[in-house]
Structure 1
């Protein structure tokens, strides 16, 4: 659970910094206000995919004890690779747009790999979660709330 928390916290910081980078980088390069660049949506993607999704995963891990299973471990690392690749390519592509440069197929291909990693990792997450639900492995919280069982 500590890894999930630390990753969520890291993505929160990166997401906020991505918004700052977008604002300052576009101002420094006299990029026309209102013109689209992928830099403008990097911070929302990182905050949503990294911060919010991992907080939800953290809560589900607390309830179902997902950490430590092979499927969950694969999910966690593949998901993080997917978020980093996807966000990194958005920054690269957006920076090229601001600088007036052309993007290329390599950037799109690597971004596609990031999306594939995200998709596969989410399937692994649901398989891990399904395994715990089917097995009735939910845990009770410290307040004694009802657990989810078969």
Structure 2
């Protein structure tokens, strides 16, 4: 649970910092106000996909103990790799735009890979959540399946 808390906190800091960077970098380089650059969406990607989503997952972890599933560890690392790769490419591409330089297909390819990792991470999250829901599902006598398994052993 601490991992989720620290990761969400780090994304909150990164999201706020990227918003500050966007504002100051565009001013410093006399970029037209309201001009199109991906720097502005890096801020929202970090705050939404990093900070908000991981806070929601933290609540789900508290309620359903998602980390009991091996899939949860996979979700955590794959999803975070996706958020970092996607956001980094947004900052890189946006910075090039502000500087008046051409972007490359490599940046688009890495951003696409980041989005694929995000998608895979979400699938892993839902698989871990499904496992946790089945584990906590009451059986016919009203006891959760996990409690039934524990009481059968004791």
State if a TM-score over 0.5 links the two structures: yes
Runs of 4+ in 1 over 6 A off after TM superposition: none
Aligned to 2:152: none
1:78-114 CA distance string (max 9 Å, x none): 0100000000000000000000001111000000000
Distance across 2 between alignment mates of 1:134 and 1:2:
24
TM-score (ref. length: structure 2)? 0.88
- Is the CA contact 1:65–1:137 (under 8 Å) kept in the aligned structure 2? no
Alignment length (residue pairs): 140
Whichever structure has more helix as a proportion of its residues is 2
1:54 aligns with 2:65: no
TM-score (ref. length: structure 1)? 0.90
Aligned to 2:71: 71
Distance across 2 between alignment mates of 1:82 and 1:68:
23
**For structure 2, which runs of at least 5 residues remain unmatched after alignment?**
139-143, 146-154
1:119 aligns with 2:119: yes
Q: Which has the larger radius of gyration?
A: 2
- Name the Cα RMSD after superposition: 1.4
**For structure 1, which runs of at least 5 residues remain unmatched after alignment?**
139-148
1:18-41 CA distance string (max 9 Å, x none): 000001100110001111100011
Report deviation, 1:69.
2.5
